[in-house]
Structure formats: structure tokens, C-alpha cells
Amino acid sequence: MPTFPAPIESRLPGVGTTIFTVMSRLAQECGAINLSQGFPDFNAEDVLFERVAHWMRAGHNQYAPMAGCLPLREAIVRKVATLYGTAYEVESEVTVTAGATQALFTAVTACVRPGDEVIVFEPVYDSYVPAIELAGGRAVRMRLAAPDYRPDWDAVAAAVGPRTRMIMINSPHNPTATVWSATDLDRLAAITRGTGIVVVADEVYEHIVFDGAGHASCAAHAELAARSFVVSSFGKTYHITGWKVGYVVAPRELMAEFRKVHQFNVFTANTPVQLALADYMADGSRHLALAAFYQAKRDFFRDALAGSRFELLPSRGTYFQLARYGAISDESDAAFCSRLTRDVGVAAIPVSAFFADGRDERVIRFCFAKNEATLAAACERLVRV
């Protein structure tokens, strides 16, 4: 085997394989039910697949425009205007991306310079900080404290300084399943008012908010919309995470910088899939019904675990459920998840993986974006723990 002649100084020396890959691999090796990684075990509707095939057969198999196929950008603008009341410009303020992670990375890369600070909220999704560090920035972590995981806005205001370039937010929040309110956005707007701070709003679970609550989008907040990249995901919305198609909306000045990076890190996304998604979006009920669809799964999962020794924390959005296991074990969350996978046959995610210092609050994350048969089989095992 050839050996590279000199060591490479890693730009991400603290980064290894993501916990999602680790736990999914362990689940596969052990034949465990995988409630760890956040993807459904069911398909989208056949009509969506049929539309992809239609556009493939019609010859739309070459590069799409860099910003995305026009029909899809038009559909996105209509959806955002209908839901949030903000009219983004089709030509200059919406870009289709190769998934939400690419959108987040590109927004950071476009705006963050060496020495800049970016405020993030821990537990934090694992792609944020590597993007910041690759851009030469420094992540400033604000802790969301269990069990409510609410932002401390006074602490955020105190953390803002002359080097603060960006604040990254995520609501509905992964992994905690909390949902920020309009009041939270008002506080964020007050903190950023009169500054050049850019907001990146990760809103990939925008349609999965439970119990009659609405999603507070930065796109619906005029003051924040003027300084925000708002990111969403077709994968999360239409059960097609493997297609890796998302989008971002932003004011034209920000989007111009975003596209300078986008055109060189992916250039464009899959053409027939974009056209199929544009067709599929014509029926708004397909995203408007998502909250009820996943709330039924949440309730089924929680009811099935009612007799267990797990303490279930509130799940107000996303398709995740946090659980404390202190009544079962005093193991670390990583050790407990490993044993749960190997011995019980159910895989979950240790929430300590979302903290830079490995903070362990004895909380784990389950994904309930599964068929009821899958959830029932998993819960039958979990109630015996």
C-alpha cells in the first residue's frame, strides 16, 4: 500500500466520524432497530418518483441553472410568501442547494473570515462548528440547559462583541426537539439591531411543529429576514433525505455572496429531481399535513414507552424524542447507547455528542420517523430495559 511521504496537518484535528455514522454502523452490525440516525424507513408517494422519471425521460438530465431550476425557485417563493408573508425575488433571493448541510456550509464560508466569531447554541448539530473553523472563525457556544433547552438571551447579548460576524440558530431544534417562539426571534432581533451580524436560520424541520403551535420563521420576521439566510430541506419534508436537495432564501446582497461560493462547491443540484419537486409542491397539503403526520408517530412512540423506565422529555417539534435513563443506569450516555444497541437491539444517539466538551446529562435521542411496526418492535424491547 502506498504511503504519503509527509504528514498532513489536519484542518479539523478534533473531528472524527460522526456519531450518526458510528451508531448506524453499530446498529447494522448488531441487527438492531435503528432509531439513531434521523431518516425515515418509509417511502415518499409514488407520484413523486413518477415525476422524476417523467423529467428524466423528457431529456432534462443536464446541468440545471446554478441557482436552481426556475419552476422550483418559483414554487419555493410562493410557499414562503404563503406561509410567512415575505416576497423573496425569484432571480436573486432563492437558491436550490445539494441539501441543507451544503446550504449551511456555503452561508458560513461566504460570510465568515479568519478571526470572526460565530455564536452557536449547544447542544449543536455537528456540521456547524467544522464549517466555522474551516472558514477561520471561532465558535462561541451558548448552552441550552436541560430539560427545557431554552436560550438565555441575556447571555447571548453579553457574548456579542466586535468580532461577532454571525449567529446560527436552529428551530425546531435538533437534537432537543424544542421550538423557538416569536418572542425568541424578537429578542434575537433586538440583539442584532444596528449591527452587521448575519443570522443563519436552520429551519429544516419547519413543517414539523406539534400541538397546534406555529413555526416562528426568520422569513416571517421583517427585521431578521433582512439579515438572514433561511435554510430548509426537501429531504426532511418529503421523506427523501437521500436525495440531498434543499434551499436557502436571503436578501439579494447576502445571496450574491452565497452564490459566489455555491457555484464552486457544488454549482447546482440534480435537474430532474428539482423539476419533480416543483410539480410536487403544487399541492400545499403535502407539507401542511406533515405536523399531524409526525405528531401521530410521536404520540404512538410516547404511549408505547409509557410503561418503561425512561423519562421522556417534551417533544414539541422535529421527529426526535429525548429521554433520560437515570432510573435505569448510571453509565455515560455513550456507554448506555452502545449497550442498548448491542444487548437490547435498539440504537439511539448520546446527546453528549452534540457538546464540544462531551457534557453528559444522561440524555439520549430517539428518532420516531419510522413505520409504526418499527416503533412498536423497538418499544417492546425498550420497556423491558
How does pLDDT run across 236-270, given as a tens digit for each residue? 999 999 999 999 999 999 999 999 999 999 999 99
pLDDT above 90: residue 132: yes
235 three-class SS: helix
The rounded distance, in Å, linking the Cα atoms of 229 and 107 is 7
pLDDT of residue 17: 83
Averaged pLDDT score across all residues of the chain:
96
Distance between CA atoms of 344 and 322, rounded to whole angstroms? 18
**What percent of the chain is modeled with pLDDT above 70?**
100
Provide the pLDDT confidence category of residue 210 given band limits of 50, 70 and 90. Answer: very high
Residue 161, burial from CB neighbour count under 10 angstroms (0-12, 13-18, 19+):
exposed
| For residues 166-184, average pLDDT | 98
Mean pLDDT over residues 63-83, rounded?
A: 98
C-alpha cell at 278: 416543483
Residue 273 DSSP SS3 = helix
User: Which structural domains are found in the chain, ordered by start?
Assistant: 19-44+288-382 (3.90.1150.10), 62-284 (3.40.640.10)
Residue 38 reports pLDDT greater than 80: yes
Give the pLDDT score at 2: 80
d(CA 148, CA 171) in angstroms, rounded, equals 14
The answer to whether residues 167 and 192 touch, using CB atoms and an 8 Å cutoff, is yes
> Where residue 194 falls among pLDDT bands split at 50, 70, 90?
very high
Predicted local distance difference test score (pLDDT) of residue 212: 96
If DSSP codes are grouped into helix, strand and coil, which group holds residue 8? coil
Question: Is 219's pLDDT higher than 80?
Answer: yes
- Residue 145's pLDDT is 87
Q: What is the pLDDT of residues 271-319, one digit of tens each?
A: 999 999 999 999 999 999 999 999 999 999 999 999 999 999 999 999 9
Summarised one tens digit per residue, pLDDT across range 326-371 is 999 999 999 999 999 999 999 999 999 999 999 999 999 999 999 9
pLDDT value of position 258: 98
Count of CA atoms in the C-beta half-sphere (13 A) of 226: 9
The answer to whether residue 3 scores a pLDDT higher than 80 is: no
d(CA 27, CA 340): 10
Residue 1 has pLDDT above 80, yes or no: no
Sign of CA dihedral 148, 237, 90, 262: positive
Q: Does residue 374 contact residue 142 with C-beta atoms inside 8 Å?
A: no
The pLDDT confidence band at residue 6, using thresholds 50, 70 and 90, is confident
Averaged pLDDT, 167-189: 98
Instruction: Choose the weakest-confidence range: 7-16, 220-229, 244-253, 352-361.
Output: 7-16
pLDDT at 244: 97
Residue 20 pLDDT greater than 90, yes or no: no
Give CA–CA dist 133/117, Å, rounded.
Answer: 10
More confident residue, 17 or 104: 104
**Region 183-201 average pLDDT:** 98
Confidence of residue 11 (pLDDT cuts 50, 70, 90): very high
* The model scores a pTM over 0.75: yes
β-strand pairing of 320-324 with 311-312: antiparallel
